[in-house]
């Protein structure tokens, strides 16, 4: 059964480790992440972006697939199904579809509007036993070749949103989605520390987990980060393993073209990536 992410992240914050959110794109991704979480005895959060939700034909399909897998694969570790960077409308759709957690990304609204919309969702999530993540300070990333610098959130605005009754807070601390550029300045621990001092017990979320050096990840966890999102790294690992298979001509040997064979190396690569992250984040055996 799916659970909200509230309990697992409270435990993570108190225990000084972080739970990974790994984004899913299809059946292979979901299966690989669930298998790894079970093998590592780790809690896990499956992230679904609005784009990935559409790709999988809609949120109801995702809920059906994940619930089916939890049962058929005998998954016993805590699993949350979480909307990643949701719009207000997307959040409502996921509540209806049976997600157990949502992120409302109101970071592009003026703070008053972010507050008003987040407040409404706090009420709706409470009614459904779901967890809610909110965001302050937009998280940059590469779009059409233009790299946006990771913004640093205003700690006072973080406190304002944290006090609305959300369950965990994403705050920009110089992190960005996708690969980090060579001239990246690194995470702003000063900002993170200031946010953590004002928000206290609130679990903090680090987006853009791909490519952040291990020592920075550990320091971020020390300063109150309890959830780390990883997406691109699984995509890169999947693509590289699939490329290797095809370049070695394996799809042309025997029945190597069978999708169950063709996609297997990529799935194994995702499993290895997720395991490595769970070890780094300290969530192994924390189920
Ligand atoms: P990366 O793709 O950089 O790992 O970021 C993932 C993320 O933050 C999803 O919200």
195: domain CATH number is 3.20.20.70
Query: Among 207, 212, 216, which residue has the most ligand 1 atoms within 8 Å of its CB, making it the best to mutate?
Result: 207
pLDDT at position 162? 96
Position 233 in a domain:
yes
pLDDT at position 151? 84
Model-level pTM greater than 0.75? yes
Position 286 in a domain:
no
* Average of per-residue pLDDT values in the chain: 95
Position 178 in a domain:
yes
Residues recognised as catalytic:
84
- 45 CA from centroid of ligand 1 (Å): 13
Position 61 in a domain:
yes
- 230 CA from centroid of ligand 1 (Å): 5
Vertex 124, ends 121 and 127: CA angle to 5°?
Answer: 150
**Joined tokens for residue 185:** 């300045």
Ligand 1 in reach of 84 Cβ (< 6 A): yes
Ligand 1 in reach of 231 Cβ (< 6 A): yes
Vertex 70, ends 66 and 75: CA angle to 5°?
Answer: 140
Ligand 1 in reach of 208 Cβ (< 6 A): yes
The number of the ligand 1 atom at minimal distance from the alpha carbon of 235 is 2
Position 287 in a domain:
no
- 121 CA from centroid of ligand 1 (Å): 23
Ligand 1 in reach of 210 Cβ (< 6 A): yes
Q: Considering only CA atoms, which of 285, 238, 236 is closest in space to residue 264?
A: 238
**Mean of the pLDDT values across residues 40-56?**
98
Range of lowest pLDDT (17-21, 137-141, 208-212)? 137-141
| Residue 149 clears pLDDT 70, i.e. is over it | no
Distance from the Cα of residue 39 to its chain's centroid: 19
Q: Which residue has the higher pLDDT, 107 or 260?
A: 260
Q: Order of strands, edge to edge, in the sheet holding 146-147?
A: 146-147, 140-143, 176-177
- 207 CA from centroid of ligand 1 (Å): 5
- 133 CA from centroid of ligand 1 (Å): 15
Position 65 in a domain:
yes
pLDDT at position 256? 98
| Residue 104 clears pLDDT 60, i.e. is over it | yes
Q: Which residue has the higher pLDDT, 127 or 181?
A: 127
Position 1 in a domain:
no
**Mean of the pLDDT values across residues 230-256?**
98
Ligand 1 in reach of 98 Cβ (< 6 A): no
The number of the ligand 1 atom at minimal distance from the alpha carbon of 232 is 2
DSSP letter at 250 equals G
Number of structural domains the chain divides into: 1
Q: Give the β-pairing of 168-171 and 131-136.
A: parallel
What is the extent of the structural domain holding 148?
A: 6-281
Residue 138 pLDDT grade (very low, low, confident, very high; cuts 50, 70, 90): confident
Q: Where does residue 220 rank: exposed (0-12), middle (13-18), buried (19+ CB within 10 A)?
A: buried
pLDDT at position 142? 57
| Residue 13 clears pLDDT 80, i.e. is over it | yes
CA 14, CA 172: separation in Å to the nearest integer? 22
pLDDT at position 214? 97
Q: Where does residue 72 rank: exposed (0-12), middle (13-18), buried (19+ CB within 10 A)?
A: exposed
The number of the ligand 1 atom at minimal distance from the alpha carbon of 178 is 3
Ligand 1 in reach of 237 Cβ (< 6 A): no
| Residue 148 clears pLDDT 90, i.e. is over it | no
């Amino acid at each position: 059964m799916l659970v909200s992410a509230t309990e697992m992240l409270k435990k993570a914050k108190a225990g000084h480790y972080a739970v990974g959110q790994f984004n899913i794109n299809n059946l292979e991704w979901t299966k690989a992440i669930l298998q790894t979480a079970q093998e590592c005895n780790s809690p896990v959060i499956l992230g679904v972006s609005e784009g990935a939700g559409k790709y999988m034909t809609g949120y109801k399909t995702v809920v059906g697939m994940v619930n089916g897998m939890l049962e058929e694969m005998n998954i016993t570790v805590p699993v949350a199904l979480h909307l990643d960077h949701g719009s207000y409308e997307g959040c409502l759709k996921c509540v209806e579809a049976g997600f157990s957690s949502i992120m409302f990304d109101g970071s592009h609204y003026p703070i008053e509007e972010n507050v008003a919309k987040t407040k409404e969702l706090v009420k709706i999530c409470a009614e459904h036993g779901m967890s809610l993540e909110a965001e302050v300070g937009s998280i940059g990333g590469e779009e059409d070749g233009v790299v946006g610098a990771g913004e640093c959130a205003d700690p006072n605005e973080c406190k304002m949103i944290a006090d609305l009754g959300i369950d965990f807070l994403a705050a920009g601390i110089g992190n960005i989605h996708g690969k980090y550029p060579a001239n990246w300045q690194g995470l702003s621990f000063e900002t993170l520390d200031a946010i953590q001092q004002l928000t206290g017990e609130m679990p903090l979320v680090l987006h853009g987990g791909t490519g952040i050096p291990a020592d920075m990840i550990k320091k971020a966890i020390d300063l109150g980060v309890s959830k780390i999102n990883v997406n691109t790294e699984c995509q890169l690992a999947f693509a590289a393993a699939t490329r290797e298979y095809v370049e070695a001509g394996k799809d042309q040997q025997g029945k190597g073209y069978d999708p169950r064979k063709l996609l297997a190396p990529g799935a194994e690569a995702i499993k290895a990536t997720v395991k490595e992250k769970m070890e780094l984040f300290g969530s192994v055996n924390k189920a």
